[in-house]
Amino acid sequence: MRAWVVDEPGPIAGSPLRFTELPDPEPGAGEVRVRVRTCGVCRTDLHVTEGDLPKRRSRLVPGHEVVGVVDRRGPGAGRFELGDRVGIAWLRSTCGRCRACRRGSENLCADPAFTGWTHDGGYAELAVVPEAYAYRVPEHLDDEAAAPLLCAGIIGYRALLRSGFAPGDRLGVWGFGGSAHLTVQLALAMGAELYVVTRGEVGREHARRLGATWVGAPGERPPRRLDAAISFAPVGEVVPDALACLAPGGVLALAGIHVSAIPSLDYARHLFDEREIRSVTANTRADGETFLLLAERLAVTSTTVPYRFDAADRALLDLADGRFAGAAVLHVDGSARPIAAGATPAEPDP
C-alpha cells in the first residue's frame, strides 16, 4: 500500500514526511482493517511530525481522523460487516484494568495507545484498528465532511462537557478554527449565547456566520459575564483574559494538547468566586459515540479543504502556516476535488 511515514521528526519545512510503499497490514485478533477513503489533517499530526510530542516509533504513519470501509476482519472480530463505513480516531486502545479505566475515565488510562502516534494511522491506503475502538460514521456526512469530526469534533465535545456548559448558557470561545467551529454548532443548537474572541478576520467572520452573538479580537472583552468558556487557542496568554470574563462558578476548559506558558494569575481577578481552569485530555469512547450521535441529530456540518493523498506534506505545511479556514482532509482514495486556489488564512487551533 502507499503511505506517508515519519522516520525522524523535525521541522515541517525540512520535509520529515516521506511518501512510500509499505506492506499491507493484516488485522490481528479483534481488529478490523479499513480501506481508507479520507483522513483529516489535525494539528496533533503536526506535533507528531515535528517532534513536539515525543517519538514513539520509527517509520510511523500519522493520521487519526480516518474514514473508510471495513475490508478485512481479524479473528474474533464481528462488530462490523465487510463494507461498513467506519471511523478511526486518536484513542486506539486502553488497558481496561487501571484505576482510570475502572472509573470510566479511559481517556486517562495509564497504558493507552494512540492512532498515528504509538500505532500507524490513516495517511495510508489501509489502516488497522481494534474494532471496539472504531466508530460508526454519521450518515448525513460524506467522507470528506465526516473526517474532522473524529478528532476536532470529539475533542471539542469533551471540552464543552468539561466547561460545565448547560443549555442556554453564555459560552465564551477563544480561538476559532477546526475544532471550535464544530463545537459551537452543538452549543448553539442547545440554546447557547455565543461570544467568540479570535485573532484573524477569517475566524471572526466564520463565527458570525454560525450565529455568534458577539465577536471580538484578542484583548477585547465580551460585553457580558460568561457562564462557561473554552480556549481552543494553543496560547497561554488567553487564560487570564478568559478567566476574568467568567461569572461566579464559571469554568474555563483548555482544549489544546499543547498550550504555551500561562502568565501568572491574580487570585481575586481570575479565580475567586469559584472560577476554575480544567484541562482536556483525549476522550472516552462514550464521548465519541455521544458526539457522533448528536452531530447526526443536530446536522452538524464541517468546513473542509480537500487535498490529494500525495499532497499530505503540503497540507501540513499549509496548516502550520495558517493558510486555510476549517479543516484539511486528504482524499486517500484518489477522489479529491481540486484544491481551492488562493486558500485563506485561518486561526491557530488544535
| Interface with Zn ion, residue 294, by CB under 5 A | no
Q: Judged by CB, which is closer to Zn ion: 208, or 285?
A: 285
Grid cell digits, residue 339: 484544491
Size of the site for Zn ion (CB under 5 A): 8
Looking at residues 156 to 175 of the shown chain, list those that interact with Zn ion (rule: CB under 5 A): none
Looking at residues 310 to 349 of the shown chain, list those that interact with Zn ion (rule: CB under 5 A): none
| Cβ atoms < 10 Å from Cβ of 238 | 26
Please tell me the distance from the alpha carbon of residue 207 to that of residue 51, in angstroms, as a whole number: 32
Please tell me the distance from the alpha carbon of residue 44 to that of residue 48, in angstroms, as a whole number: 6
| Interface with Zn ion, residue 302, by CB under 5 A | no
Binding segment (CB under 5 A) for Zn ion, from list 1-9, 145-153, 163-171, 214-222: 145-153
Binding segment (CB under 5 A) for Zn ion, from list 17-25, 130-138, 149-157, 221-229: 149-157
| Interface with Zn ion, residue 46, by CB under 5 A | no
| Interface with Zn ion, residue 94, by CB under 5 A | yes
φ, ψ of residue 119 to 5 degrees: the values are -135, 160
Query: CA torsion, points 23, 331, 54, 347, in degrees to nearest 10?
Result: 170
| Interface with Zn ion, residue 44, by CB under 5 A | yes
| Interface with Zn ion, residue 146, by CB under 5 A | no
Binding segment (CB under 5 A) for Zn ion, from list 107-115, 116-124, 302-310, 328-336: 107-115
| Interface with Zn ion, residue 101, by CB under 5 A | yes
Check residue 87 and report its DSSP letter.
E
Which of 5, 42, 128, 186 is the binder for Zn ion (CB under 5 A)?
A: 42
How wide is the angle at C-alpha 262 spanned by C-alphas 256 and 266, nearest 5°? 130
Cβ atoms of 330 and 307 closer than 8 Å: yes
Binding segment (CB under 5 A) for Zn ion, from list 41-49, 177-185, 241-249, 314-322: 41-49
Q: Judged by CB, which is closer to Zn ion: 177, or 250?
A: 177
338 contact partners, CB below 8 Å, separation of at least 6: 306
Please tell me the distance from the alpha carbon of residue 336 to that of residue 38, in angstroms, as a whole number: 9
Grid cell digits, residue 242: 478568559
Binding segment (CB under 5 A) for Zn ion, from list 117-125, 151-159, 244-252, 340-348: 151-159
Binding segment (CB under 5 A) for Zn ion, from list 96-104, 221-229, 276-284, 319-327: 96-104
Which of 1, 53, 98, 265 is the binder for Zn ion (CB under 5 A)?
A: 98
Q: Judged by CB, which is closer to Zn ion: 109, or 295?
A: 109
Please tell me the distance from the alpha carbon of residue 6 to that of residue 16, in angstroms, as a whole number: 6
Q: Judged by CB, which is closer to Zn ion: 49, or 94?
A: 94
Taken as a whole, the chain contains a residue count of 350
| Interface with Zn ion, residue 151, by CB under 5 A | yes
Distance of CA 52 to the CA centre of its chain: 17
β-pair partners for 20: 3
| Interface with Zn ion, residue 109, by CB under 5 A | yes
Q: Judged by CB, which is closer to Zn ion: 22, or 98?
A: 98
180-210: b (≥16 Cβ within 10 Å) or e:
bbbbbbbbbebebbbbbbbbbebbbebbeeb
Kindly list the distances between the CA atom of residue 311 and the CA atoms of 4, 87, 307, in Å, as whole numbers in the listed order: 10, 22, 6
Q: How far is the CB of 265 from Zn ion (least distance, A)?
A: 28
Q: How far is the CB of 153 from Zn ion (least distance, A)?
A: 10
| Interface with Zn ion, residue 283, by CB under 5 A | no
Which of 22, 53, 95, 189 is the binder for Zn ion (CB under 5 A)?
A: 95
Cβ atoms of 49 and 62 closer than 8 Å: yes
Q: Judged by CB, which is closer to Zn ion: 44, or 283?
A: 44
336 contact partners, CB below 8 Å, separation of at least 6: 306, 307, 308, 309, 330
Binding segment (CB under 5 A) for Zn ion, from list 105-113, 192-200, 228-236, 314-322: 105-113
Residues that bind Zn ion (CB under 5 A): 42, 44, 94-95, 98, 101, 109, 151
